[in-house]
Amino acid sequence: MSTDFLSERINNMATSATLAMAAKARELKAEGRDIIGLSLGEPDFNIPDFIKEAAKEAIDQNYSSYSPVDGYADLKQAIANKFKRDNNLDYGLDQIVVSTGAKQSLANVAMAMINEGDEVVLPAPYWVSYSDIVKLAGGVPVEVPTSIDTDFKMTAQQLEDAITPKTKMLWFSSPCNPSGSVYSKEELESLAAVLRNHPGIFVVSDEIYEHINFTGGHVSIAAIEGMYDRTITVNGVSKAFAMTGWRIGFIGAPAWIAKATNKFQGQVTSGANSIAQRATIAALEAPKEKIQYMIDEFHKRRDLVLGLLGEIEGFNLNIPEGAFYVFPDISSFFGKTIDGMQINNASDFSLFLLEKANVATVTGEAFGNPNCIRISYAASEAELKEAIARIKKALS
C-alpha cells in the first residue's frame, strides 16, 4: 500500500508550513534540543480569566448538546453587535455563521463559492493556507507579488492587471499575516474602485488580526461603497483573545452566501464547539480595554524585534503595523555559504536558523514570497532577545 491509493486531492495538497514547522520544533525540543519556536502565530498569553469563567459556567449550565449549525443565536447577536461597534457593518443574524476557527470559515466559503477553474487573486505574501484551501475547492490561485518597497501591499493597478474573465474572488488579510501590513482606508477605497467595475468578483476580507493593530485604525472593506453585497468578512477570537485552541471563527456575509456555507458546515462538522461558543460571547461583549494589555505588549515586542533585527546586516525590514510577525527580506544571503551550509533560498535560510541558531521560523515560500522569512514575535521578551542574539551569532 502506498500514497498512490490516496486521493489526488490530498496528494496535491501541501502540508501547512506553519503547523509543520511548529511540529518539527516540538519534535526537536522533545529530543533535548534547546529550540526557540518563533514559527507559530499563536499568542503566548493565557486566556483572560473572564472568558475562562464563561466557559466554566457553560459547562455547569449543561451546554452539551449540538448547537444550531451556524451558532447560538445569542452568540450571533454578540457578533452582529461587534460588527456594528467595531466595523460599522450591519449584519443580521441570517448573515452570520460561526465555525471551528476562521480557518474553517475560509474553507466553508471556498467550498460554497468556488467552481473548478475559477481564479482567486491572492496578493502575495498571503496567509499560508489560502492557496491550498482555494485549490481544494477547484480554484486557481493567482498570486500578485508585492515587495517590501510597497510595504507588501497590492496596488489598484496590480489588482486590475490580475483580473481576467475567470476571476471569481479576491482573498486578503489586513492586518496581514505574514507581513504585518495594514491597508489604509484610502488603499482599500482604491481597490474597491477597481472592483466596482467588475461586479462578479467577491472579496474575502480576513480581519482576524483586527485588534492587533498599532496604527489605531482598522477599516473593513465591506464598509466601503459598493462592497457590502460582495464581501465575506472573516474574523475570530484566536488572536486578540488568545483563544487559538478553542477554535471559534465567524463570517459576516450576504445572507445567500452565509446560508450556503451553513449548508456545507452542516454536512461536515455540524457546527462549532458549544462551550467555546458560550465563552466567545463573553469575549466579544467585553470592552476592548480588557485585552489592551496584550496588544500593548505585542506593540512593545514589535519595536524590540525591529530594533534588534535591524542591527543584523542583511535583514531588510518593513515596519509592520499589525499582527505579530516580522517578514524580513533576507535575499542578500542567497548564494552564500555560512558555517558549511549553502543558502540558496528562503527555505535554506530558515533551515540554517533552525540548525545553527536553534530558532524556528517559517520560510516565505510558504506565503508566496521567496525572498523573506516569517518570524513570529508572539513569544516572551526574553525568548525574543535570546533568539535574535543567536541568529546574529550564527550569521557572524
- CB–CB of 129/175 below 8 Å? no
Q: Does 18 bind ligand GLU (CB under 6 A)?
A: yes
Query: Cα separation of 112 and 189, whole Å?
Result: 27
Instruction: Kindly tell me which residue out of 87, 95, 100, 177 binds ligand GLU, with binding defined by CB under 6 A.
Output: 177
| Partner touching 372 among ligand PMP, ligand GLU, none, CB below 5 to 8 Å by kind | none
Note if the bond before 178 is cis, omega within 30 degrees: yes
| Partner touching 16 among ligand PMP, ligand GLU, none, CB below 5 to 8 Å by kind | ligand GLU
Q: Does 244 bind ligand PMP (CB under 6 A)?
A: yes
Q: Does 43 bind ligand GLU (CB under 6 A)?
A: no
Q: Does 40 bind ligand GLU (CB under 6 A)?
A: yes
Q: Does 16 bind ligand GLU (CB under 6 A)?
A: yes
Q: Smallest distance from the beta carbon of 194 to ligand PMP, in angstroms?
A: 22
| Partner touching 19 among ligand PMP, ligand GLU, none, CB below 5 to 8 Å by kind | ligand GLU
- 173/331 with CB nearer ligand PMP: 173
Q: Which three cell numbers stand for residue 14?
A: 501541501
- 19/317 with CB nearer ligand GLU: 19
Q: Does 318 bind ligand PMP (CB under 6 A)?
A: no
Q: Whose grid coordinates read 469575549?
A: 283
Note if the bond before 141 is cis, omega within 30 degrees: no
- CB–CB of 354/274 below 8 Å? no
Q: Does 236 bind ligand PMP (CB under 6 A)?
A: yes
List the Cα angle 314/319/325 in 5-degree steps.
Answer: 85
- Closest residue by Cα to residue 202 from 144, 132, 258, 271: 258
Q: Does 249 bind ligand PMP (CB under 6 A)?
A: yes
Length of the chain: 396
- CB–CB of 278/58 below 8 Å? yes
Binding residues (CB under 6 A) for ligand GLU: these are 16, 18-19, 40-42, 103, 128-129, 177
